[in-house]
Structure 1
Amino acid sequence: MAGIPLTAQGAKRLEEELHRLVSVERPGVIQAIAEARAQGDLSENAEYDAARERQGFIEGRINELEGLLSNAQIIDPASLDVDGRIVFGATVGIEDLNSGSNVTYQIVGDAESDIRLNRISISSPVGRALIGKAEGDVVVVTVPSGEKEFEIISVEYK
């Protein structure tokens, strides 16, 4: 199986989430199940059903995180010889030439992408279009709303 690309910061965030789930969330839900069981008839106990459902979610997320982290390939873009080109982990400032708006994205793996935090996946249309380009280049990206042109304003490796 190929490694799952992660930035060092992304791997750290996932490890912290795993630790919280194992050490805080899992014991809490086990306690909630025990308290709901103590109330008697489980067939009509909504608290028990909710706690069991929460336990299933927590255990599933723990398994998912353990799998991601065991197959992770940590990539530090600062250690790569990139010659100013955009690679995985780069923080890229772009200008939308259609609207004139500027935005900064970090290109990360699928497991750590979060558009609210301006982290886009390397497999997204914008992420794929930016890889290999350099500051000053113009890229055309096909997105669901049509084609967009972006000029690369800055490239940083944090």
Structure 2
Amino acid sequence: MNQFPMTVQGADALREELNYLKTVKRPRIVNDIADAREHGDLKENAEYHAAREEQGFCEGRIQEIEGKLGNAQVIDVSKIPNNGKVIFGVTVTLLNIDTDEEVKYQIVGDDEADIKNNRISVNSPIARGLIGKEVDTEIEIKTPGGLVEYEIIAVDHI
């Protein structure tokens, strides 16, 4: 059984969604199906078929989340001593040496990655280039636009 790293925030978000699906959405869909059944002939009943389809999606998502949580290795980086080394879960501040621009990324599990919120997958080229490196190290990262040189200026365990 492969375990996948996940931040505490990522696991909490999945548990919240799972709770919503089981306590709010699933009962509503069951109600919708019961209401639609009362309308008679099920072959011609669009509401019934739509509700059954939604039920399939909902149950599929519940199983998917339960599977992910079951295989998750939840890592609370705030409980790990900060020795300046880049590890899963940390927030890294990088300085682009050419442009003098600073950028911050949190290294997260695949399902948690969200580039708009500067959360990058541990399996992304940037994260792979950073893991194991230390503060004040200069690194080159291959990006779609070519090679970019960065200096690691901070590693935070938030």
Q: What is the TM-score with the length of structure 2 in the denominator?
A: 0.88
Deviations 1:94-152 (A, max 9, x none): 23345443321111111222223221110111111111112222222223343333222
Total equivalences in the alignment = 158
Task: Indicate the residue corresponding to 1:152 in structure 2.
Answer: 152
SS at match of 1:5: strand
**CA–CA separation in structure 2 for the residues paired with 1:47 and 1:95:** 55
Deviations 1:15-71 (A, max 9, x none): 111111111111111111222222223333332222222211111111011111112
2:80 touches 2:157 (CA, 8 Å); kept in 1?
no
**Gaps in structure 1 of 5+ consecutive residues:** none
Shifted more, 5-14 versus 135-144: the winner is 135-144
**Cα distance, 1:53–1:101 mapped onto 2, change above 3 Å:** farther
**Cα distance, 1:86–1:46 mapped onto 2, change above 3 Å:** same
Task: Indicate the residue corresponding to 2:42 in structure 1.
Answer: 42
**Cα distance, 1:37–1:125 mapped onto 2, change above 3 Å:** same
Q: How far off its partner does 1:85 sit?
A: 0.3
2:33 touches 2:51 (CA, 8 Å); kept in 1?
yes
**Cα distance, 1:147–1:56 mapped onto 2, change above 3 Å:** farther
Task: Indicate the residue corresponding to 1:76 in structure 2.
Answer: 76
Indicate the percent of aligned positions where both proteins have the same amino acid.
50
Q: Does 1:17 align with 2:17?
A: yes
**CA–CA separation in structure 2 for the residues paired with 1:98 and 1:41:** 69
- RMSD between superposed Cα atoms in Å: 1.9
